[in-house]
A = this chain, B = another copy of it.
Amino acid sequence: MNLGAHNKNERHLTEKLSTSGFRFTPQRQSVYDVIMHKRDHPTAEEVFIRAKKQMPEISHATVYNCLDALVKSGLIRQVQLERGATRFCPNMEEHCHYHCGACGKVFDMALPKNFTDMPQPKGFKADHYDIAVHGLCADCAGKRKN
């Protein structure tokens, strides 16, 4: 493992957490690592399972607490693609989620620069955008046709 990168990552985490009034903890590090490592939009439950491998004593409630702290610190995003579990995403750029309704996979795509040029309700103060496209990924669309 690249120790330099790891330390930089940890400094970034500590700094962002403390700016939002949170402490650095090994549990938060662990949850953050899980999400940064396999960037597949896991649910809280999936994060819990993966975090347990590194830190077997971590609890369910802690994972929720950590995810919440990371979201509030602007380190990860939460996305609500369908009924059911919230998913978490390490990509903080404005982007669009392509969600396959058959296999559940999620694909990130960058958005064109001007995409936020849409009419707004008068006086609305926009904070963040959630853009999702639901449909079938190439693999699943192929299977359906056959």
Contacts and interface: CB of A to CB of B under 8 A. Distances in A.
Contacts of A80: 80-83
Give the one of A111, A119, A125 with max B CB within 10 A: A125
A46 to B, nearest CB: 16
Interface in A66-104: 78, 80-83, 86, 96, 98, 100-101
Interface residues of A, number: 40
A26 interface: no
B137 A121 contact: yes
Nearest to A105: B121
B107 A124 contact: yes
A98 B138 CA distance: 31
Interface string A113-125: 0010111111111
A118 B107 CA distance: 13
